[in-house]
């Protein structure tokens, strides 16, 4: 079953590999990876630790070159790509509002409009009262919401997220997953989301890709059978549990490979 969108993917990877270092000490970290992400699609990647997930995301973000192969992104503008990291990547010396406005400032959006858009995103993330605060005074969950607001404020065509909720407690992670679900379903954002949580991947993804142990390759793809718009309620569906155990079997085999190597 071919998705018609895939003739014009937003992101396309062909035989992408990455090796770090040279000669005897070289580490083949990734690939070859082939990947097409359709416009508006939310793709999740799970895989064992150290399999090359962050490497793939950094290549997609243009922060790292592939050693071979090609990765292309189809947007109107390279700045239309936003990235959110596990460690938030927000600036402690800027106020919350200035952090959220950051991408808009880079795009030279006029200050009044930038402030208005930043304030709107802060309100959506429940942070309206904290516009003038400095990030150091916020909890981890609030800091991560600032990072999300900053990424979404630029209305990116492509959103790249590398285990953005990994450092948060389970309850907060659930809340932010539900928020992200609501947000991405009301915009046409194409998202590549890395997580080590199968639940997270199934709740959020149109598609879940499983990567092998290093060098990471895509070894399986599943489509969670939940139509959009979807809510966090899918967590209690029998199909959810079934898919989770199927994905876990695939992943466990890879974690075993790594431990034995």
Partner from ligand ADP, Mg ion, none contacting 50, C-beta within 5 to 8 A by type: ligand ADP
The residue from 50, 69, 89, 232 that contacts ligand ADP (CB under 6 A) is 50
Q: Within positions 189 to 218, which residues make up the interface with ligand ADP, using CB under 6 A?
A: 214
The residue from 35, 37, 44, 51 that contacts ligand ADP (CB under 6 A) is 51
Region for residue 246 given its phi and psi (left: phi exceeds 0; alpha: psi -120 to 50; beta: otherwise):
alpha
Closer residue to ligand ADP (CB): 122 or 213? 213
C-alpha distances in Å from residue 246, one per residue of 39, 185, 197, 224, 249: 27, 26, 14, 11, 5
Closer residue to ligand ADP (CB): 33 or 51? 51
C-alpha distances in Å from residue 56, one per residue of 61, 147, 148, 243: 9, 21, 20, 25
Quickly list H helices, 187-221.
198-204
Strand order in the sheet with 27-37: 27-37, 11-20, 68-73
The verdict on 54 binding Mg ion (CB under 5 A) reads yes
**Interface with ligand ADP by CB under 6 A: which range of 51-59, 93-101, 167-175, 218-226?**
51-59
User: Which two structure tokens, joined as six digits, stand for 41?
Assistant: 């699609």
Three-state SS at 138 = coil
Return the number of other C-beta atoms located less than 10 Å from residue 148's C-beta: 26
Q: What's the closest the beta carbon of residue 48 comes to ligand ADP, in angstroms?
A: 7
The verdict on 19 binding ligand ADP (CB under 6 A) reads no
The residue from 6, 49, 65, 126 that contacts ligand ADP (CB under 6 A) is 49
The verdict on 29 binding ligand ADP (CB under 6 A) reads yes
The site for Mg ion (CB under 5 A) is made up of: 53-54
Site of interaction with ligand ADP (CB under 6 A): 20, 27, 29, 47, 49-55, 214
């Amino acid at each position: 079953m071919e998705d018609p969108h895939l003739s014009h993917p937003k992101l396309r990877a062909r035989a992408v590999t990455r090796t770090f270092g040279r000669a005897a000490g070289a580490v083949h970290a990734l690939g070859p990876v082939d990947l097409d992400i359709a416009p508006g699609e939310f793709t999740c990647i799970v895989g064992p630790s150290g399999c090359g997930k962050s490497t793939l995301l950094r290549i997609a973000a243009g922060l790292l070159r592939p050693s071979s192969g090609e990765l292309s992104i189809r947007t109107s503008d390279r700045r239309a790509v936003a990235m959110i990291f596990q460690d938030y990547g927000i600036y402690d010396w800027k106020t919350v509002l200035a952090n959220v406005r950051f991408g808009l400032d880079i795009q030279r959006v006029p200050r009044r409009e930038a402030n208005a858009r930043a304030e709107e995103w802060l309100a959506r993330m429940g942070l309206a009262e904290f516009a003038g605060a400095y990030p150091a005074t916020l909890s981890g969950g609030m800091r991560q919401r600032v990072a999300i607001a900053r990424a979404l404020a630029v209305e990116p065509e492509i959103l790249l997220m590398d285990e953005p909720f990994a450092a948060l407690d389970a309850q907060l992670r659930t809340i932010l997953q539900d928020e992200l679900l609501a947000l991405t379903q009301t915009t046409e954002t194409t998202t590549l989301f890395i997580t080590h949580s199968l639940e997270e991947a199934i709740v959020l993804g149109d598609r879940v890709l499983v990567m092998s142990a290093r060098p990471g390759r895509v070894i399986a793809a599943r489509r969670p059978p939940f139509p959009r718009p979807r809510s966090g309620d899918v967590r209690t569906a029998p199909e959810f549990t079934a898919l989770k155990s199927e994905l876990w079997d695939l992943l466990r085999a890879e974690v075993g490979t790594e431990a034995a190597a």
